[in-house]
Amino acid sequence: MRLVLVGPPGAGKGTQAQFLAAHYSIPHIATGDIFRANLKAGTPLGIQAKAFMDKGELVPDSVTNEMVRDRLLQDDAVNGFLLDGFPRNVAQAEVLRANLAEKATPLTAVLELSIDNAEIVARLSSRRTCKECGLPTVNTDKCPTCGGDVYQREDDKAEVITRRLEVYEEQTAPIVSFYRSEGLLITVSAIGSVEEITERAISALSRVS
């Protein structure tokens, strides 16, 4: 199973990625993890990325594409993978398609977690983070885990969430249309419990696996 997971901020991609990767026994490959690994190891690609980051610039697609390409060549990804956070735009999607075509291992499917913007704003703006243990909670004055005080992170405020969604629509949503035209897109609702969404996704993917 070779999957790409897409969806707006707050759709629950990170959570679903973990469950789906475990279900299919494939690695969950998040771009943030790839960047951190390359930076920590001081790889040539990591050094290139750091040069841009140190200047406050975005890491160019060419570097990101190569990092992902290298990661997909590792042994644990031979029998499949779940990409989370990549591709972020159509140009990256086209490079990924070309890379996989070289190995005759095309994507199995692209899973889109669909949720209305209003639901996302309501979901994320109700989130609070514990000052003591850092765990997230919802609509409470005290952390249910350790009893610590909670606060609202800046990026969980409604106006910030709205802007993040605008950026998603501008930059990332076009890949949904790209993969729909490729016949790879499978869309499932991201409303419900974690278990319900996972079951829904696995049921939808069973038609292509």
List the catalytic residue out of 69, 142, 157, 164.
Answer: 164
Burial label for 151, CB within 10 Å (0-12, 13-18, 19+), is exposed
What would the pLDDT profile of 21-33 be if each residue is shown by its tens digit? Answer: 999 999 999 988 8
Is residue 163 annotated as part of the catalytic site, yes or no? no
Report phi then psi at 172, rounded to 5. Answer: -105, -35
Please report, in tens digits, the pLDDT of each residue of the chain (209 residues total).
Answer: 999 999 998 898 989 999 999 999 999 999 888 988 999 999 999 999 988 888 878 789 999 999 999 999 999 999 999 999 899 899 999 999 999 999 999 999 999 999 999 999 988 888 899 999 988 888 888 999 899 999 988 878 888 889 889 988 888 889 999 999 999 999 999 999 999 999 999 999 999 87
Q: Report pTM.
A: 0.84
- The count of residues in the chain is 209
Is residue 71 annotated as part of the catalytic site, yes or no? no
Q: How far apart are CA 122 and CA 86, in angstroms?
A: 26
Is residue 207 annotated as part of the catalytic site, yes or no? no
List domains and CATH numbers for the chain.
2-115+172-205 (3.40.50.300)
What integer pLDDT is reported at residue 125 of this predicted model? Answer: 87
Is 136 strand, coil or helix? strand
Is residue 13 annotated as part of the catalytic site, yes or no? yes
